[in-house]
C-alpha cells in the first residue's frame, strides 16, 4: 500500500506504566505477523513505525506504543479517542515467522513483545519459549495471553515473584530450546548482548532474526 488509509480508532487503553494499546478497524489489506505499519501524525513527516500486535485474521489492527512525552508522534496519539481516525500506511517489513514447525526462542524487551503476540494469534500451537524483559511488573504487557507457551518474564527495577533480573542475565544460564530459531525484538542494547550470548552458546547467526526498536539503557 503506497498511500495512507484513514482507520477508525475503536479502543485506546493503557497497558503499562507508560504504554498504550490502540485497536483500529481492520483495513482492506492483509498483513503477515511481524510486519510493520506507519502511523501518521499532525504533519507529513511525523509518521513513525510500529509492529502490528494483532493476528493475521483478527478483526482489528492492534498497535502498542510507549508514550515519549517530548516525542513527535506519541503525544499526538495519546490524545486520540475512540471514534477518531488515524492515517495508517503499510504493511511492510521482514520480521516474519520463518518456519512454524521449528522450536522458537523469542526474546523481547518492552513493546518488542508486539510481534510475538502477532505470531501466537496467527499460528496457534507454536513450540515457543518467550523471554520478556521490562523494568517493572506493570509493563509485562498481555501476560495473560502467554500462558500456553513457555513464558519467562523478567523485571530489572522491581522484583517479579521475588526476583529482580535482566533478560540477558537469564539467557546466559537458562536451558534453551533444542536447535531453535531465535527472534530478538526491542532495545538495540539487548539485541547486541543477546547475539553475543547466543553465539557463545552455539546458536548460529543464520538462525537469529532481529527487529531493533530503540536505543536506550534498558536495565
pLDDT score, position 27: 97
Element (H, E) at 115: helix 114-122
Element (H, E) at 187: strand 181-187
Distance in angstroms (rounded) separating the CA atoms of residues 146 and 64: 16
pLDDT of 219 > 50? The answer is: no
The predicted model gives 97-120 an average pLDDT of 98
Class of the CATH domain delimited by 104-214: alpha beta
pLDDT of 216 > 80? The answer is: no
The predicted model gives 57-84 an average pLDDT of 96
| Whether 62 contacts 22, CB under 8 Å | yes
pLDDT score, position 113: 97
Where along the chain do its domains lie? 5-92, 104-214
pLDDT of 2 > 90? The answer is: no
pLDDT of 51 > 80? The answer is: yes
| Confidence band for 3, pLDDT divided at 50, 70 and 90 | confident
The C-alpha cell at 64 is: 502498542
pLDDT score, position 215: 57
Per cent of the chain over pLDDT 90 is 94
Look at the block and give the residue holding cell 519459549: 129
| Confidence band for 204, pLDDT divided at 50, 70 and 90 | very high
- Rounded to the nearest integer, the mean pLDDT of the chain is 95
Least confident window among 2-6, 47-51, 188-192: 2-6
The predicted model gives 72-99 an average pLDDT of 97
Same fold, 5-92 and 104-214: no
Q: Which CATH superfamily is domain 5-92 in?
A: Translation factors (2.40.30.10)
The C-alpha cell at 2 is: 503506497
Element (H, E) at 117: helix 114-122
pLDDT of 44 > 90? The answer is: no
* Pair type for strands 181-187 and 208-214: parallel
pLDDT score, position 218: 39
Amino acid at each position: 500500500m503506497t498511500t495512507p488509509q484513514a482507520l477508525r480508532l475503536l479502543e485506546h487503553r493503557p497497558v503499562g506504566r507508560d504504554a498504550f494499546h490502540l485497536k483500529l478497524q481492520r483495513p482492506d489489506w492483509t498483513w503477515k505477523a511481524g510486519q510493520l505499519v506507519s502511523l501518521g501524525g499532525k504533519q507529513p513527516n511525523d509518521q513513525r513505525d510500529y509492529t502490528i500486535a494483532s493476528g493475521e485474521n483478527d478483526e482489528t489492527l492492534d498497535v502498542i506504543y510507549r508514550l515519549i512525552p517530548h516525542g513527535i508522534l506519541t503525544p499526538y496519539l495519546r490524545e486520540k479517542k475512540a471514534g477518531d481516525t488515524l492515517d495508517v500506511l503499510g504493511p511492510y517489513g521482514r520480521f516474519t515467522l520463518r518456519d512454524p514447525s521449528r522450536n522458537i526462542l523469542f526474546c523481547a524487551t518492552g513493546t518488542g513483545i508486539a510481534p510475538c503476540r502477532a505470531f501466537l494469534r496467527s499460528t496457534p500451537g507454536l513450540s515457543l519459549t518467550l523471554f520478556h524483559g521490562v523494568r517493572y511488573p506493570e509493563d509485562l504487557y498481555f501476560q495473560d495471553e502467554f500462558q500456553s507457551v513457555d513464558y519467562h518474564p523478567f523485571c530489572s527495577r522491581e522484583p517479579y515473584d521475588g526476583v529482580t533480573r535482566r533478560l540477558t542475565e537469564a539467557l546466559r544460564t537458562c536451558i534453551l530450546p533444542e536447535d531453535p530459531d531465535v527472534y530478538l525484538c526491542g532495545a538495540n542494547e539487548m539485541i547486541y548482548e543477546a547475539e553475543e550470548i547466543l553465539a557463545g552458546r552455539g546458536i548460529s547467526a543464520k538462525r537469529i532474526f532481529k527487529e531493533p526498536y530503540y536505543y536506550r539503557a534498558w536495565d
